[in-house]
Amino acid sequence: MEPSTNVLDLNLLRRSCSSCALNELCLPAGIGGDDLTRLDGTVKDKRTLERGGVLYRDGDPFKALYVVRSGSLKTFVQNEAGDTQILGFHLPGEIIGFDALASNRHASQAEALERSSICELPYAQLQQVTSEVPALHRQLMRVISREVVEEHRHLVMMGRQQAQEQLAIFLKSLADRYERLQRDGAALTLTMSRYDIANYLGLVVETVSRLFSRMEEMGVLEVNRKAVRILRPDLLADLCRNGHPTGSRRNDAG
């Protein structure tokens, strides 16, 4: 348990966190100088996944957390009956694998939606560093808490929103995340299939397909296969609140 040498094994390093563009979105956010160097040391060799490549599957022993460095992934669970629920789509800077902390086994599967590269954070070493760098510990807790909040949003979307609102919210959230990455939030590239989107929202493909068409007719979007352009962000924002123009309920309290 002494500050071991392999924690700082610089051979494992390719490009450092300090020079990474995702810096402020990722674990290093708010971590400075020396401490950042130590975090850097724990980041293992970056992995590359092809489209469809599996980062971890349900039941795999927990070894590391992962940061999306480029590309995109989906995470999903499958119940005994074999049906799948997509939990999230993950863009660069997002950290996945937290569900494995509970039982030391992954409780979901992570799969690349396109060629993606991944930073691996071996948990044993990460733990060592967090115990020495309180700021990192706090940051780690913040990140996992953010995941909890994110899931609450997903839950609200599924439980209370109409199909059209759901898709609008999904697109809006994607646009927002694009902008955080300094990309054009109006020009989305949907790396996931319509099936994936439908599944994520608790709908079926046909519904999603129809909704894309409808939003295109409304002049909100321009849809061209995977390329979606948001023509009227204002209308899209309206749709996020407006699946139920007449104020539908679905049981509003207790």
Q: Where along the sequence are the contacts to a copy of itself (CB under 8 A)?
A: 74, 77, 79-87, 98-103, 107-108, 127, 130-131, 134, 137-138, 141-149, 151-152, 154-156, 158-160, 192-193, 195-196, 198-199, 201-205, 241, 249-254
Compute the C-alpha angle 248/252/254, nearest 5°. Answer: 160
Least Å distance between CB 250 and DNA? 5
State the Rg of the chain over Cα: 20
Taking the least distance from each CB to DNA, the nearer of 15 and 226 is 226
**Chosen from a copy of itself, DNA, none, partner binding at 163 (C-beta under 5 to 8 Å by type):** DNA
For residue 37, state whether it binds DNA (rule: CB under 7 A): no
Q: State which amino acid sits at residue 111.
A: E
Taking the least distance from each CB to a copy of itself, the nearer of 12 and 205 is 205
Taking the least distance from each CB to a copy of itself, the nearer of 14 and 51 is 51
Least Å distance between CB 184 and a copy of itself? 25
**β-pairing verdict for 95-96 and 64-70:** antiparallel
Which residues, other chains included, contact 248 with Cβ-Cβ below 8 Å and sequence gap of 6+? 162
For residue 19, state whether it binds DNA (rule: CB under 7 A): no
The answer to whether 110 touches 74, Cβ cutoff 8 Å, is yes
Print the binding letters for residues 133-162 with DNA: x by CB under 7 A, - otherwise: -----------------------------x
Q: How far apart are CA 105 and CA 9, in angstroms?
A: 27
**Chosen from a copy of itself, DNA, none, partner binding at 223 (C-beta under 5 to 8 Å by type):** DNA
Give me the residue label for tokens 């674990």. Answer: 27
| Closest of 79, 69, 78, 23 to residue 46, by C-alpha | 69
**Chosen from DNA, a copy of itself, none, partner binding at 210 (C-beta under 5 to 8 Å by type):** DNA
Taking the least distance from each CB to a copy of itself, the nearer of 44 and 74 is 74
Least Å distance between CB 15 and a copy of itself? 28
Q: What is the largest CA-CA distance in the chain?
A: 64
For residue 22, state whether it binds DNA (rule: CB under 7 A): no
Which residues, other chains included, contact 93 with Cβ-Cβ below 8 Å and sequence gap of 6+? 22, 25, 26, 67, 68, 180, 181
Which residues face 47 on adjacent strands?
Answer: 118
Taking the least distance from each CB to a copy of itself, the nearer of 77 and 218 is 77
Q: Interface residues for DNA in 157-216 (CB under 7 A)?
A: 162-164, 193-195, 202-210, 212-213
Which residues face 224 on adjacent strands?
Answer: 227
Taking the least distance from each CB to a copy of itself, the nearer of 45 and 55 is 55
DSSP letters, 140-151, are HHHHHHHHHHHH
Backbone phi, psi, residue 52, to 5°: 90, -10
Q: How far apart are CA 162 and CA 95, in angstroms?
A: 29
Residues forming the site for DNA (CB under 7 A): 162-164, 193-195, 202-210, 212-213, 223, 225-226, 243, 248-251, 254
